[in-house]
Structure 1
Amino acid sequence: MQSPPSSLSDGKLPVFVFPSSLIFYSDDQSTHKQVLTLYNPYEMALRFKVQCTAPKKYSVIDPEGVVKPRCCVDVVIRHVDICIKHEGVLDKFRIQVYEQGSRKMAGKKEVTSVLYPTRDSQVKSEDTFESLPTVPGGKMGEQLSIPIRPGQSQSTSPSLVIIMAAIACIAALMLPTVGDKNIKVPEYLVLSVNQKLIAAYVLGLVTMVLLRT
């Protein structure tokens, strides 16, 4: 059995989550439900917990659970309080992971979330994380202004290159990691943790491009 990564001891285990941000639009009901995918490329099972800076505004199905080795899980997030006073408020979700049987956090990843009236603007907010129960309850984020530039539009479709890059990064995250045992793929398909970190970073950039198209 593979030894746990040394980063488990310092709480810096790389956590792979897609996408890196959630964007909701008041005028588009299809965006009011989003999915976060948590990947586990390791040979050990990981327990996860989802927290949020504004849990009352969101409904999360199974905010806690376990990701089996080399598997992934989908976390469904719904914005349940769509209203004008929440537009322009930047919230954050924090995904914390733990080794099975341990209470010490092994790693974490933050994902931003914002509600826009349409498809513009940039915001900032303070971070005050709270636990996220299945039936949400908690504090609201602070209302911030939205700098909207008239005439700006985002109507182009994502290019094939961007879509292929996203698929390639996801595939890379699911490949075996150096040190894994019982590997049944060619050696050139076995990636190091650093290579997977690069893939996760690129995937985050590609996600931002896709969300803005």
Structure 2
Amino acid sequence: MADYKVPVFVSPQSLTFSLDDKTSHRQIITLFNPYDFPVKFKVFCTCTKKYTVVEPEGSINASSRVDIVVRHNAPAPAFCDIKDKFRIQMQYYTTKKVIGHKDVETILLRSSDNYEPAAENFKLLKNDSSIDNFDNDSEIRQSYNKNSSGPNLTTLLMAGVCICGLLLPSSEDTEILKFRISFNLKLAFAFVLGMTTITILQHH
């Protein structure tokens, strides 16, 4: 189709329908006539069965505008993500000669496509390559639990040494035994045992 010298003013440039939002199934296209003479218009569509246009033909007075109502008749999943087009064609009021046209794209989106992220409560994530391959936070938790399922062998060994040291008699005891340790050393064993116990409890 040849280009025309007279431009066509239409708003909006595209229509977006939502599958689950019934309020979006009825929308309005505004046609503007900025000229000092009246014009006629006609509305065409690439898929007439899916849409209804109230008054698809009419006229616009000089320096005026008109609103046309577009209804989506087939809001079904089978028609989602398919682009259609309306063509608004303008004609001279007297001769009916075509002087220009404008295309308006339409699409029906699913509910998930209409999702808008929250504007608040976003926090910057650290660039940790160890979690780049995880799909969701549950897998991250599972990995963390595997890596921290229990205390390491060194912690358990230290706890065992401290317990054995506390069980040995001190130098102040009256029994005559071969192995004796000082009271201060027992205090050190008790302190280390307390710290290792806290570490073990944090892993459970």
Could you state the TM-score of these two structures normalised by the residue count of structure 2? 0.54
1:30 and 2:13 matched:
no
Looking at structure 2, the residues matched to 154 and 58 of structure 1 have their Cα atoms a distance apart, in angstroms, of 31
- Select the structure with the greater relative contact order (CA < 8 A; seq sep ≥ 6): 1
The correspondence of residues 42-121 of structure 1 with structure 2, limited to 5 A, is 42-118=35-111, 120=113
CA, structure 1 residues 11+119, in 2 after alignment: closer, same or farther (shift >3 Å)? farther
Q: Which runs of 5+ in 2 are unaligned?
A: 120-204
CA, structure 1 residues 10+53, in 2 after alignment: closer, same or farther (shift >3 Å)? closer
Looking at structure 1, the residues matched to 118 and 64 of structure 2 have their Cα atoms a distance apart, in angstroms, of 35
Q: 2:40 touches 2:91 (CA, 8 Å); kept in 1? A: yes
Cα deviation for residue 102 of structure 1 reads 1.8
**Which residue does 1:17 correspond to in 2?**
10
Letter in 1 for 2:92: E
CA, structure 1 residues 81+43, in 2 after alignment: closer, same or farther (shift >3 Å)? same
Letter in 2 for 1:60: V
Looking at structure 2, the residues matched to 29 and 49 of structure 1 have their Cα atoms a distance apart, in angstroms, of 27
**Which residue does 2:116 correspond to in 1?**
153
Q: 2:40 touches 2:96 (CA, 8 Å); kept in 1? A: no
Larger Rg: 2
Letter in 2 for 1:76: V
Looking at structure 1, the residues matched to 30 and 113 of structure 2 have their Cα atoms a distance apart, in angstroms, of 25
Letter in 2 for 1:12: K
**CA RMSD for the aligned pairs?**
2.0
Letter in 1 for 2:99: A
Q: 1:93 touches 1:112 (CA, 8 Å); kept in 2? A: yes
CA, structure 1 residues 81+42, in 2 after alignment: closer, same or farther (shift >3 Å)? same
> C-alpha deviations, 1:155-211, integer Å up to 9, x for none?
66xxxxxxxxxxxxxxxxxxxxxxxxxxxxxxxxxxxxxxxxxxxxxxxxxxxxxxx
**Which residue does 1:170 correspond to in 2?**
none
**Percent of residue pairs identical:** 41
Looking at structure 2, the residues matched to 119 and 18 of structure 1 have their Cα atoms a distance apart, in angstroms, of 26
Looking at structure 2, the residues matched to 23 and 102 of structure 1 have their Cα atoms a distance apart, in angstroms, of 35
Aligned residue-pair number: 118
Letter in 1 for 2:116: S
Say which structure is richer in helix: 2
Q: Which runs of 5+ in 1 are unaligned?
A: 1-8, 122-151, 157-213
Looking at structure 2, the residues matched to 43 and 155 of structure 1 have their Cα atoms a distance apart, in angstroms, of 47
Could you state the TM-score of these two structures normalised by the residue count of structure 1? 0.52
